[in-house]
Structure 1
Amino acid sequence: MSQLRVVVADDHTLVRQSVVKALAQADGVRVVAEASDGPGAIAAVRGAAPDLLLLDIAMPGRDGFSTAEQVRRESPEVRILFLTMHDDEASLRQVLALDAEGFVSKSAPVDELLDAVRRLGDGQRYVSSNVADRATALAARREVAPAALTSRERDVLLALARGLRPGEIATSLELSVKTVKNHLTAVYHKLGVETGAQAVAEAYRRGLVTSRS
């Protein structure tokens, strides 16, 4: 049986080493690379081609959400498991927007982390029991009102996904910066997000934007 290839990314050396040690004792799991920041995690995924990226949220250089977005674009087959101390509503919203396969609190016991890793390896999803109810409620609220973007709002969203800033979007679409910002506000509201990064992640999740858009 093939082993589950895992990249572990966490800026706290003690935490990262503890996770790597725990995974080393699990049958069918092999840590193929480690990283201490966002750029390092992206490089590790590119170089090691893992099945699973175990990722912290708060990291230097590039946070876990931005890192996950990049990995989603470059390696959509890699499953993402967030291991973090951040379980506030804003963080959960971003995890949902990214459609991450797993979320485990750092307060969870090692056995729970290993269970989550095994489940993701089997194609399942996992959310820590202490945040499962909140995550379910947030997901339900987001699905109640699907996005109904106007054609111009979609143009702005596509430009945002290409990495353009509001001023650049305005020039590209021959609009005023104020109009672009108004469209962005509408897009954020309809997607149930608060930032451009969240909007892009949610757009990919809903299929409103693809790598070919």
Structure 2
Amino acid sequence: MTFRVVIADDHTLVRQSVLKAVRHEDGVEVVGEAGDGPGALAAVEEHDPDLLVVDIAMPGMDGLAVAEQLRREKPKLRVVFLSMHDDDGSLQRAVALGAAGFVSKSASIEELQEAIRAVRDGGSYLSSNVASRVMDLAAGRTPATALGLTPREREILELLTAGNRPTEIGTTLFLSVKTVKNHLTSIYSKLGVETGAQAVAEAYRQGLVKRT
């Protein structure tokens, strides 16, 4: 039985290279392709593939958001992320979405083909440079970087948990209050909270900061 694949990547040269590599695999058929997030959703809806190989950073809708929507609509679809974005935040979301694979764009074509074969045969695949970090995430070792917090956001979160107000944080870090509030909005989003108090509680719960 043919293993049906859709490829989604906004860079045409990359997408064509992936298409060529996948088409050389026995029993694998590329049934569709797309250059952005909405296009990936449409291709999956039209062709009903077994596997979606999708870049994380795409216009319109990123690959992680695409996978999240498809997880609800097509729970049997398997997803392999192909991306330069192998940071811990992206890896954590990919793991949470039940990714069948995560292949770095720095990997060789042969490695991508190996990943496709593994998923076709019912397994999963992780590029060697991300495997150990995924194991850490799966084991629950989630430092602030795993949530996608930047060094500046971690600084601000630490000051917030110490009881500082935005104006005081700005004075300490030589930032405008508006800039601090923009960082706080990003922090709240990444922690999945809506207020400063909730952010402090979540930071303590996840061990992102230490109680004094």
The match for 1:47 is 46
The match for 2:23 is 24
The match for 1:77 is 76
The match for 1:38 is 37
Q: Using the alignment, how far apart are the partners of 1:23 and 1:38 within structure 2?
A: 20
CA distance 1:137–1:17, shift in 2 (3 Å): same
AA aligned to 2:67 is A
Q: Secondary structure at the match of 2:57?
A: coil
Q: TM-score, normalised by structure 2?
A: 0.68
CA distance 1:10–1:102, shift in 2 (3 Å): same
Displacement of 1:104 in angstroms is: 0.4
Q: Using the alignment, how far apart are the partners of 1:6 and 1:189 within structure 2?
A: 40
CA distance 1:122–1:13, shift in 2 (3 Å): same
The match for 1:113 is 112
Displacement of 1:181 in angstroms is: 2.6
Aligned residues: 155
Q: Using the alignment, how far apart are the partners of 1:26 and 1:118 within structure 2?
A: 8
The match for 1:59 is 58
Displacement of 1:185 in angstroms is: 4.8
Q: Using the alignment, how far apart are the partners of 1:190 and 1:119 within structure 2?
A: 39
The match for 2:170 is none
Q: Percent identity?
A: 56
Displacement of 1:59 in angstroms is: 0.2
Q: Secondary structure at the match of 1:123?
A: coil
Displacement of 1:25 in angstroms is: 1.2
Q: Secondary structure at the match of 2:111?
A: helix
Q: Using the alignment, how far apart are the partners of 1:69 and 1:44 within structure 2?
A: 16
Q: Secondary structure at the match of 1:124?
A: coil
Q: Secondary structure at the match of 1:141?
A: coil
Q: Secondary structure at the match of 1:116?
A: helix
- Structure 2 gaps of 5+ residues are 143-192, 207-212
Q: Which has the larger radius of gyration?
A: 2
AA aligned to 1:181 is E
Q: Using the alignment, how far apart are the partners of 2:46 and 2:201 within structure 1?
A: 35
Q: Using the alignment, how far apart are the partners of 2:98 and 2:140 within structure 1?
A: 15
AA aligned to 2:194 is K
Report if aligned partners of 2:8, 2:36 keep a CA contact under 8 Å in 1.
yes
The match for 1:87 is 86
**RMSD of the TM alignment (CA)?**
2.3
Q: Secondary structure at the match of 1:82?
A: strand
Q: How does 1:1-213 map to 2 (within 5 A)?
A: 2-141=1-140, 181-182=194-195, 185=199
Q: Secondary structure at the match of 1:76?
A: coil
Displacement of 1:98 in angstroms is: 1.2
Q: Secondary structure at the match of 1:181?
A: coil
Q: Using the alignment, how far apart are the partners of 1:13 and 1:44 within structure 2?
A: 16
Q: Using the alignment, how far apart are the partners of 2:87 and 2:117 within structure 1?
A: 25
Q: TM-score, normalised by structure 1?
A: 0.67
Q: Secondary structure at the match of 1:16?
A: helix
The Cα offsets for residues 95-136 of structure 1, whole Å up to 9 and x where unpaired, read as 112121100011111111111111111111111011111110
Q: Using the alignment, how far apart are the partners of 1:187 and 1:123 within structure 2?
A: 40
Report if aligned partners of 2:92, 2:137 keep a CA contact under 8 Å in 1.
yes
